[in-house]
Each structure stands twice: as structure tokens, then as C-alpha cells.
Amino acid sequence: MKKKGALSGITVLDLSRLLPGPYCSMILADHGARVIAVEGKRFQADDFFITSVNRNKEHMSLNLKTDAGRQIFDRLVEKTDVIIEGFRPGVVKRLGVDYPSIREKNPAIIYCSISGYGQSGPLKDRAGHDVNYLALSGVLDLIGEADRPPSIPGIQIADIAGGAMNAALGILLALVARGNTGKGQYIDISMTDGMVGLLPPQMYLQQRSGQFPKRGNMQLAHRYACYNTYETKDGRYISIGAVENRFWKLLCVRLDKLEYTPLQYDDDRRKEIIDCMRAEFKQHALAEWEKILEDVDCCWAPVRTMEEVLQDSLFRKREMVLEEPGEAGSNQPVLGLPVKLSDTPGSIRTQSVSFGGSTVEILKELGYSETQIKAFEEKGVI
């Protein structure tokens, strides 16, 4: 029998869509919280119901623009600990489900809003997506090679690291505070704020050198040969992260470039060293380099494709890639849980339900009869 998750007994209503809010509530659901995702049917046709972040949840279709829909929502709120919403500022107030309104019904509620630019400030009403939050925060300007345009990451860093993860952290902090005070509170998460919050190392470098970091020209981004990426003979890439001289020396020894050991951060010869390393790594295919460097403890790693990651023995052993039954009875890989607790581990209990797939069961749990539920369907409440 599996142990209960750390958040067992906590109920979450997730009003959000797309990625930041659902990813946040997935984290909570993975660790035992009961998460009920609530969306209006008008969103059903959108191609943004990301099943991979809706595991371990129930899903309810509910039209909050109707009086009956808000009454149902009010009954849900009575036994809820956390509400997550991801609308533009002001929308939940127009729907009558904003924090002040909910707090009157449940003073212990923890209410988390996730938005692009926050609930206050001159940009609060501006539309945006991940690339915009990266851009405005200064993060995008630091990604890529020198003398080339900023490179848009292939993953949604602002949505996940800036929004979802900070929201989950804020909710957990608020739950601890409520345990001490008995009071709920409001959480304002801005994805752009979250990106600015990722800049401490760059601030340190600026304060130490007096110069602001520039794209592709930082100690930890392409400026030096010891922290760089290199193309291999077969068109693949390898990463080198030999920041400390002891690691750099080990790499130089294996490559028979011992003369470069004391020149690791020599600005006069850095381009020469980088060019030499580029030529060196082009001599062999990636698989050969994995054998050449296998026993060299110098901070290196092959640049894997996503397809390779899903088959990698490390992630299978770490249970970051699991096999779950898919369509037609065949197994398919799913992503595991990165936070691993010894006594109250999270788990994947259920895969994503269909849009609104839990609506009838939840309404029956709230005491509504089959006749009432059918009437809700006819009137477009659910």
C-alpha cells in the first residue's frame, strides 16, 4: 500500500488553463492533494488541454457566468483549501470568484493568482506569453551566442520556473503559515517577476566586475573554453562545464593539451583555446567521446535529444521516466516526479481524465440529484 503524499487531505480548485496553473496544481496533486480542475465548456474546443499536466486530477466543466454555476462553485469552496487562477487581472472579480468574495465564504482559503506581469503595476493588463516574460525580464538577452539574436528556449521557462514553481512554493508557504495562524492569504505570482528572480548569479558577476553580463560572453556562457558546447564529428554536441581548474586540468590532460591548463581564464588567448577545442571535438563522433571521457571526472555530458532522454537508463533508474498503459493496451513513457520524499513520496495515481470527465461524480458528491444534474446540462451550467 502506497504511503499518503505530503499534501493528502488538502483540496485544491484550479481555475487556470494552459500551462502555468495546471503545472502548479499537478505538483500539488502528485504529492497527494485532491485537485479539481474547473473550466467552462467554451474552452473544450481549444487545443490547449495538455494531458501530461492533468494527471492525478479530477476535471469539472462549469459555467461560472451562470448563477447556478457560481452556486455550485460556492459549495465546492466550502471544503477547499487552495484556489488557483490564471486569468488576466480583474476577470475573477467580474465572475464573482475573486479573493475578497471567496474569503467571505471561507476565511481560511489560500488564493493564488498567476499572471504575466502581476496584479499591480502599469503592465498588469497586457497580454503576453513565455517569450515576452523572458524578454522583459532581461533573461532572453542573456541566452544564445554573441553577435547573434537572442535564442528562444525550447521549453517554457517563464511559465514553469517563473509561474508554476513559484506558485507551488507560495502555496506551500501559505499552508505552513495557515497552520501557525489559522488564516489564509492571497498570493500574487508574476511570471516576469519570477524571471527577474533568476538573476542573482548575473547580479553577482556585475557587482564583481562592474560590467553587465552580455549574451554569449559570460564566464558561464560561451566566453571561455572550459564552459562551452562543442560540435562533434557526427554533427552532435557535447557540453563541457570544467569551471574549477582541477576539472579543466583533467580535461586538458586527456586531450593532450596540458599547455592550456594555466590559461583557463586568459582573456588574451581564450579565442585560440576555444578554436583549438572546437577542432579537437570535431575529430570524433559523440559516442566515441563518451568512451574517451568516460573515466575523466571533468564535468562533461553529451547533449541528449528528448527521444534519447526517454530511453536513458539514468532517468529510468531515477523513475523520471516511467511506463504507463497507453492506447490499445501498449505502454508509453510518462514523466515522473522530480521531488522525491522518503516518508511521504508523491506518486502517479491516475492519468488525465477527459474534459469535464469528473463533473457528474463531483455534483453527486455535493448532494445534487440526477434530475438536477440533467437540468444543469440542459441549461449550459455544466
**39 and 127, same domain (yes or no):** yes
- Catalytic residue list: 129, 159
How many domains, the chain?
2
Distances from the Cα of 377 to the Cα of 36, 56, 274, 293, 372, angstroms? 19, 25, 66, 63, 9
**Residue written as grid cell 496544481:** 25
**185 and 239, same domain (yes or no):** no
Angle at 146 between CA 142 and CA 150, to 5 degrees: 45
Contacting residues for 313 by C-beta, under 8 A, at least 6 apart = none
**29 and 155, same domain (yes or no):** yes
**19 and 90, same domain (yes or no):** yes
**91 and 137, same domain (yes or no):** yes
Q: What is the pLDDT of residue 328?
A: 67
Per-residue pLDDT of the chain (382 residues; tens, 9 = 90+): 456 899 999 999 999 999 999 999 999 999 999 999 999 987 776 667 788 899 999 999 999 999 999 999 999 999 999 999 999 999 999 999 999 999 999 999 999 999 999 999 999 999 999 999 999 999 999 999 898 999 999 999 999 999 999 999 999 999 999 999 999 999 999 999 999 999 999 999 899 889 899 999 988 899 999 999 999 999 999 999 999 999 999 999 999 999 999 999 999 999 999 999 999 999 999 999 999 999 999 999 999 999 999 999 999 999 999 998 876 678 889 999 999 999 999 999 999 999 999 999 999 999 999 999 999 999 999 9
In 197-332, which ranges are continuous DSSP H helix? 200-209, 245-254, 270-281, 286-292, 306-309, 313-317
In a domain, 319, yes or no: no
Q: Which domain holds residue 231?
A: 227-303
* Contact predicate 248/264, CB 8 Å: yes
From CA 171, how far away is CA 13, in angstroms rounded? 13
In a domain, 222, yes or no: no
Q: What is the pTM of this model?
A: 0.93
Q: Identify the CATH number of the domain in which residue 294 sits.
A: 3.30.1540.10
**39 and 126, same domain (yes or no):** yes
**192 and 231, same domain (yes or no):** no
In a domain, 372, yes or no: yes
Q: What are phi and psi of 235, to 5 degrees?
A: 80, 10
* Contact predicate 147/168, CB 8 Å: no
Contacting residues for 44 by C-beta, under 8 A, at least 6 apart = 61, 355, 356
Q: Identify the CATH number of the domain in which residue 73 sits.
A: 3.40.50.10540
What is the per-residue DSSP string for 86-150?
-SPTTHHHHHT-SHHHHHHH-TT-EEEEEESS-SSSTTTT----HHHHHHHTTSGGGSS-TTSPP
35: which 3 cell numbers?
Answer: 485537485
Q: What is the pLDDT of residue 1?
A: 46
**62 and 157, same domain (yes or no):** yes
In a domain, 77, yes or no: yes
Question: Contacts from 208-214 at CB under 8 Å and sequence distance 24+?
Answer: 213/142, 214/142, 214/146
SS3 content of the chain, % helix, strand, coil (to 5): 40, 15, 45
Q: What is the pLDDT of residue 47?
A: 61
In a domain, 264, yes or no: yes
In a domain, 308, yes or no: no
Q: What is the pLDDT of residue 3?
A: 65
